[in-house]
Amino acid sequence: MTVRTLVKQLAAAADGPVRVSGWVETVRDQKKVQFVILRDETGAVQLVHPRTDVDEPGSDALATQISALSHGSFLTVTGELKHDERVKLGGLEVKIGEIEVTAAALDLPIAEDSSIDKRLDWRFLDLRRPEQNLVFRVQTTFLHALRSWWVENDFIEIHTPKLMASPSESRAELFEVEYFETKAYLAQSPQFFKQMAQPAGFGKVFEVAPAFRADPSFTSRHATEFISVDAEMSWVTSHEDVMRMHEQLLVAGLTAVKEKHGAEIEAAFGTTVTVPELPFPRIPLSEAHSILASRGYTVPRADGDLDPEGERRLSEYVKEQYGHEFVFVTDYTSNIRPFYHMRHEGDPSLTNSYDLIFNGTEISTGAQREHRIDVLVAQAKEKGMEPAELDFYLDFFRYGVPPHGGFGMGLSRVIMLLLHQPSIREVTYLFRGPNRLLP
């Protein structure tokens, strides 16, 4: 039996017998000839069958079988491959010899113009679109490049637990679950556990794993379960060291995406992948407020944190002034940062921290962590937290820990903004939000 050939392999194959498998995308049932567009995980190919029943309807069994094919059915087709530059789809076609219907499909319940909610109800069908296939190939390339950069730079990959005995940062936005005779919490982030690797002497660590936020937000950039990209490293002197690591990592990821998928992304999404120049622009939060005010916008949040509109407008400014899609907003005030962020020496109202904004939306928070136990306890109390409830975490700092820092970054946000998609729902394999637990 002829071995199955992927569609992407057909261009390099010689004319002759071939076997392809995939699902029916289109059937054009004409009087003298029939065409079927068959798509597999690598692309689409045109199948052709010249009818022999023009004068004797019903005498061509293959033609009858083709006429009955339903959109979405999975087939295996054996036939003759022929390269023909006149064929618009790839310059080749397969003359059908035999069709094996592996799994017939009912009428599909969604179309390309269906609403996002309906498409998510039938996500396994929505994912058949070539644009969706490309999304996850881009994500695979991006993550592989990040991992390669980390490994080449002596980072250790860790896998931290997602069931926690106590909250990772606060009791807000937590999912509480039954855990035998007690309660557990789904991890908001691996923050405490990746910090634990620092007194363990690991030096530099990374993790790509799920995180959970019980946040009832319905925005285009929020999810209750998401993939968090995290890194932490010892012996930093400030958050500047973390930013340098972060920007180099992203350049590696975007370079790989552009080289492998740049042309496909432009064809499918009409956007050009830009590899950013180093270093990324850095703007202190106070200066960001001044820039926005000079452009007629006052951030409405009482705590001074940038809101989505402020992020968008600041990105416009950075694009105009620096020609850059990224900007680090640095030196956040301590009132809007967690207790474990290190404060500025001589000015405890500011922290050694940053947010990274990409194409108008925040994708990451990073910081130098406070490693001095007395200062850490004092800052926890200042935030209204009870140190006794943090003992397992505070113990990390009682037996020696080096200065360290790191970041957490939302993967879906990065892919959404890279491909200029309207929502993370479009770039998440199976989205979870306040009103979605299926499929």
Q: Is 173 known as a binding-site position? A: no
Q: CA angle, corner 185, sides to 179 and 187, nearest 5?
A: 135
Q: Is 411 known as a binding-site position? A: yes
Q: Is 137 known as a binding-site position? A: no
Read off the tokens for 198: 């620092």
Q: Is 217 known as a binding-site position? A: no
Read off the tokens for 194: 């990746």
Measured CA distances, 84 to 150, 252, 369 (Å): 46, 39, 62
Q: Is 410 known as a binding-site position? A: yes
CB 93 within 8 A of CB 46: yes
CB 174 within 8 A of CB 214: yes
Q: Is 413 known as a binding-site position? A: yes
Q: Is 85 known as a binding-site position? A: no
Q: Are strands 204-212 and 225-234 parallel, antiparallel or unpaired?
A: antiparallel
Cis peptide before 50 (omega within 30 of 0): no
Read off the tokens for 163: 């069931």
Q: Is 58 known as a binding-site position? A: no
CB 367 within 8 A of CB 354: yes
Q: How far apart are CA 249 and CA 246, in angstroms?
A: 5
Which letter does DSSP use for residue 223 in this model? -
Q: Is 316 known as a binding-site position? A: no
Binding residues: 169, 213, 362, 365, 369, 410-413
Binding site, annotated residues for ATP: 362, 410-413
Binding residues for L-aspartate: 169, 213, 365, 369
